[in-house]
Amino acid sequence: MKIDVMISADHINKEEVIGKTIVVIDILRATSVITTAINNGCKEVIPVIEIEEALAIANEGECILGGERKALKIDGFNCSNSPLEYTQDIVNNKRLIMTTSNGTKAIKRCEGAKNILIGAMINAKAVSDKVLNLEEDIVIVNAGTYGQFSIDDFICSGYIIHCILDQNPKVELTDIAKTALFIYKQSTDLSFIKEATHYNRIEELGLLKDLEYCCQKDIIDIVPEYIDGRIK
C-alpha cells in the first residue's frame, strides 16, 4: 500500500487518479460541510461546478441548495458553506445540491477513480480505517485554495497518514506524503493551520466558529463516498 498527495484541484493529474482510491480533502470548508450533512441524515449530496447547474437540478425536485462564492452565500441558495448550518433540522432526508470554489471542483475532477472518499479533520480517523480496509494505493487530493497549495488541507493529509501508519507502519509514502506527515507532527495541535491564507479569510469574515468546528479531530465516524455523481 502506497500513499501519495496532490496539492490542489488544479494539480490533479488525471492519469494518477484513474482506477485509484482517492480521498478528497477540503477542510475549509466543503468536505467538512459534506461530512456533517451526511452525518445529520442528508440523503445525498450532488456536487456541481457551476451555480447555473445547481439551480437547474434544483428545479427538478425538492432539495436544498448550498455552497459559496468567495466564501459567501450564493444569491437564491438556502445555505452558505458553513458546516454549522447543516443541522439535522435542515438536512435530514433531503438532497443537497452543492457548488463551491475548490472542494466540489476537486471531487468532480477525480471522476474515473475506483473509489472517491470524502475526508476532513472531523472524520480523519474514520477515513484512515476505511482505506486500511480497502488495502489499495491511495491518492489524497487536497482541494487547495483557488489552484494554490493550502496549509489546512495538507496538515489534514498528514494527520490521516499518521492515523494510517499507526495501524500499519509498513505503508509506503511518496516524498510529498512524508512531508505532509512531517508537517503534521510539527503541529499536532493543528495551530499551524492558523497560518493558512484561507483560514485568515474565513476569520476576517467573522466565522471563527466554523474554523473551530472544522479543526476538530475525529468527531464524526462516517466516510461519505462519491459514486456516479452522488455523495452518500
Pick one of ligand 3SL, Mg ion, none as the site partner of residue 100 (Cβ within 5 to 8 A by kind): ligand 3SL
Least Cβ distance, residue 100 to ligand 3SL (angstroms):
3
- Continuous segment of H or E residues that includes residue 214: helix 208-214
- What dihedral do alpha carbons 215, 121, 175, 105 form, nearest 10°? -100
Q: What is residue 74's DSSP assignment?
A: P
Nearer to Mg ion, 31 or 78 (CB): 31
Query: Measured from the CB atom, is 101 or 123 closer to ligand 3SL?
Result: 101
Nearer to ligand 3SL, 129 or 216 (CB): 216
d(CA 48, CA 104): 6
- Upstream peptide bond of 109 is cis (omega within 30 degrees of 0): no
* Distance linking the first and last C-alpha atoms of the chain: 26
Query: Which one among 5, 30, 193, 196 touches ligand 3SL, defined by CB under 6 A?
Result: 30
Which of 6, 21, 26, 58 forms a contact with Mg ion (CB under 5 A)? Answer: 26
- Which of these segments, 21-29, 85-93, 173-181, 217-225, binds ligand 3SL (CB under 6 A)? 21-29
For the beta carbon of residue 221, count every other beta carbon within 10 angstroms: 12
Provide the strand spans (E) within the chain: 2-6, 21-25, 44-47, 64-67, 95-99, 115-119, 138-142, 172-173, 226-227, 230-231
CA–CA distance, 140 with 86 (Å, rounded to integer): 25
Among 28, 46, 164, 202, binds Mg ion (CB under 5 A): 28
**Closer CB to ligand 3SL, 98 or 138, in the complex:** 98
99-138 mask for ligand 3SL (x: CB under 6 A)? -xxxx-----------------------------------
Residue with cell 452543492: 98
Residue 224 contacts which entry, Mg ion, ligand 3SL, none (Cβ below 5-8 A, type-dependent): none
Site size for ligand 3SL (CB under 6 A): 13
Give the footprint of ligand 3SL on residues 55-94 (CB under 6 A).
68, 71, 81
- Least distance from C-beta 224 to ligand 3SL, angstroms? 15
State the Cα–Cα distance between residues 12 and 197, nearest whole angstrom. Answer: 21
Residues that bind ligand 3SL (CB under 6 A): 26, 28-30, 68, 71, 81, 100-103, 143, 202
